[in-house]
């Protein structure tokens, strides 16, 4: 995971910030960006079911689990922090 943050004080009470994060998964890894850009495992939530009924053939297919592993996920956040 790579991150970069930029913060700038506009005045004594106000700060502007911008954050960037990128998760680089290896070919079999399946990590995702969580709240606040934290790396969390998602345990194949995008997977196909273990077994599913196929109405076109009348049988049960066993297509899963399938994870979309090896992806690169990026996120950006910006904001203003004002302290009263």
Tens-place pLDDT, residues 14-57: 999 999 999 888 887 777 766 544 555 555 655 555 555 666 77
Residue, of 25 and 58, whose pLDDT is higher: 25
Its domain, for residue 65, covers 2-82
Residue, of 11 and 1, whose pLDDT is higher: 11
| Residue ranges of E strands in 1-84 | 2-9, 14-24, 31-33, 39-41, 52-54, 59-61, 72-82
* pTM of the predicted structure, to 2 decimals: 0.57
Residue, of 80 and 61, whose pLDDT is higher: 80
How far the first Cα of the chain sits from its last, in Å, is 34
Question: Tokens 């005045």 — which residue?
Answer: 11
Domain count, the chain: 1
Peptide bond into 65 cis (omega under 30): yes
């Amino acid at each position: 995971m790579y991150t970069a943050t930029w913060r700038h004080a506009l005045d004594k009470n106000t700060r502007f910030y911008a954050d960037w994060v990128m998760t680089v998964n290896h070919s079999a890894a399946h990590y995702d960006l969580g709240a606040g850009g934290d790396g969390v495992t998602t345990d194949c939530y995008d997977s196909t079911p273990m077994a599913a009924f196929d109405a076109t053939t009348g049988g049960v297919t066993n297509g899963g689990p399938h994870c979309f592993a090896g992806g690169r996920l990026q996120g950006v956040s910006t904001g203003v922090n004002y302290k009263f």
